[in-house]
């Protein structure tokens, strides 16, 4: 009898559970943004519909986590900071409040969608570094 072991999980994309879990995480993130008053300021910068934001974050996170490069295949390099500058199309003014609301909302979504704690801690650190770098407004 031959025993087939699961291949080792090499990327956060695989650890999280692939595209279905990334989609669940993104959906919960934006659902929380709509439902929770604590994230109202964050929600307000996204316009009336979150559909485009949901799709783009899903595409981005798949690649960022080591999975399929959906975002870069469609749009090229993410240029996150440039795409989020207030003067860019769809850009936002991002200060400490927006950064912290984004991080809290994502952390809550990770917890509610069952992202394993070890991975969640690593992602929290990475998300913080990226979100802090994205700030384009002073200490407001």
Helices (H), the chain: 12-16, 18-35, 40-44, 51-64, 70-75, 80-84, 96-112, 117-134
Q: Which of 95, 102, 92, 98 is nearest to 127 (CA)?
A: 102
Query: What's the CATH number for 15-134?
Result: 1.10.490.10
The pTM of this model reads: 0.82
Q: How far, CA to CA in Å, does 91 sit from each of 21, 80, 88, 117, 118?
A: 27, 10, 5, 32, 32
Give per-residue pLDDT as tens, 84-137: 444 444 556 778 888 899 999 999 999 999 999 999 999 999 999 988 887 777
Q: Return the structure tokens found at 91.
A: 């850009």
**Domain range annotation of the chain:** 15-134
Q: Return the structure tokens found at 70.
A: 């959906």
Please say if the pLDDT value at position 79 is more than 60.
no
Give per-residue pLDDT as tens, 33-76: 999 999 998 898 788 889 988 999 999 999 999 999 988 876 66
Residue 2 phi, psi dihedral angles, 5° rounding: -100, 135
Token pair 């952390």 is found at: 107
């Amino acid at each position: 009898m031959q025993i087939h072991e699961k291949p080792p999980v090499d990327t956060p994309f695989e650890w999280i559970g692939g595209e279905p879990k990334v989609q669940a995480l993104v959906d919960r993130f934006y659902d929380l943004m709509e439902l929770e008053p604590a994230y109202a300021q964050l929600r307000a910068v996204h316009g009336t519909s979150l559909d485009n934001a949901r799709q783009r974050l899903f595409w981005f996170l798949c690649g960022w986590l080591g999975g399929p490069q959906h975002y870069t295949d469609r749009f090229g390099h993410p240029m996150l900071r440039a795409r989020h500058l207030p003067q860019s199309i769809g850009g936002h003014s991002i200060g400490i409040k927006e950064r912290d609301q984004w991080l809290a909302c994502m952390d809550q979504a990770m917890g509610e969608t069952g992202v394993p704690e070890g991975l969640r801690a690593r992602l929290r650190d990475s998300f913080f570094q990226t979100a802090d770098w994205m700030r384009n407004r002073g200490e407001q």
